[in-house]
Amino acid sequence: MNTKLTLRMDEATIRKAKMEARRRGKSVSRLVAEFIESIGLRPDSEKALPPTTASLVGILKGQDISEDDYKEHLREKYL
């Protein structure tokens, strides 16, 4: 069952929302609903991570590793 919801926004934001909805071929209501639904899909904690990912969280904490170190590793691995 759909129920009406009123949102208050400045006119510029409303114009942007309507343009984006038109571009996507959807209503502004549908865009808002999809956004709200997507929030519930995001993991809120490490418990929601896949087991392999969860096991790697924090593994490099306290290590002195830079982006340059990673780039060097990739060069050695693939060249």
Q: What are phi and psi of 33, to 5 degrees?
A: -60, -45
Instruction: Pick the closest to residue 4 from 29, 21, 35 (CA basis).
Output: 29
Could you report the per-residue pLDDT of 3-60, keeping only the tens digit for each?
A: 999 999 999 999 999 999 999 999 999 999 998 888 876 655 545 778 888 888 888 8
Q: What pLDDT is attached to residue 62? A: 87
Enumerate domains of the chain plus CATH numbers.
Answer: 1-42 (1.10.1220)
Q: Note the pTM of the prediction, 2 decimals.
A: 0.49
Please enumerate in sequence order all residues whose Cβ is within 8 A of that of 29, keeping only pairs 6 or more positions apart, or say none.
5
Q: What pLDDT is attached to residue 39? A: 81
Q: What pLDDT is attached to residue 38? A: 82
Q: What pLDDT is attached to residue 43? A: 56
Cα–Cα distance measured from residue 15 to residue 10, given in angstroms and rounded to the nearest whole number: 9
